[in-house]
Amino acid sequence: MTQSQKVEQAWATPSLDEIPKITKMHVQALETMQGDEVWVQAGMHHVTVQTVGRKSGKVHKVALPIWRDANGHRVVVASFAGAVGHPSWYLNLRDRESNPEVRCGAQSGAYWSVPEILHGDDYTETWAQLTADRAWYVDYQAKTDRLIPLVRLPETRPV
């Protein structure tokens, strides 16, 4: 990508209790509006990801900021602000067995994706590039012993 994706953190990180509440409100706004006022927050474009609960079987939706890799694919970060455990959306995505696709919503329209959890050199290179643009993720990583996952969400097919 030639366009800069650098964002300086100008906000306080919400608490772990606040994040799900904020996300729920953000998903509702994203599903009803198409303008930049909801799809671009704090200088970052967002996507919705729909997963199925690995225990409940219920549909869950989450709004996540994206970063685009060198090939233009959306990448999301399962940081949960540096919490000890992975966010539920990531666990649901990681543990999907019968259907590898997830439905994603973007300002340009919905699409199906077969998410790629990054590993090895792909992870290392993407993490370095992403954190050069979004330095707060380094702080989140320092708060936890778990490796914060990166997930690429390529557009597999339209909805």
**Quick one: CA dihedral 25, 137, 105, 49, positive or negative?**
negative
What single DSSP character describes residue 111? E
Domain ranges, ordered by start, for the chain: 18-158
Q: Which stretches of 66-135 are assigned E, i.e. beta strand?
A: 67-68, 74-77, 102-106, 109-113, 116-117
**Per-residue model confidence as pLDDT tens for the chain (159 residues):** 457 788 877 667 778 888 888 888 998 999 998 899 999 988 899 999 999 888 888 999 999 999 999 999 999 999 999 999 999 999 999 987 667 899 999 999 999 999 999 999 999 999 999 999 999 999 999 999 999 999 999 999 988
Select from 142, 143, 19 the least CA-distant residue to 87.
19
Q: Give the CATH class of 18-158.
A: mainly beta
Q: Which pLDDT score is estimated for 117?
A: 96
pTM (predicted TM-score): 0.89
Q: Which pLDDT score is estimated for 95?
A: 86
C-alpha–C-alpha distance, residues 149 and 123, integer Å: 8
Select from 52, 50, 53 the least CA-distant residue to 62.
50
Q: Which pLDDT score is estimated for 98?
A: 67
C-alpha–C-alpha distance, residues 156 and 125, integer Å: 23
Cα–Cα distances (Å) from 114 to 41, 60, 78, 117, 130, in that order, read: 25, 17, 16, 10, 21
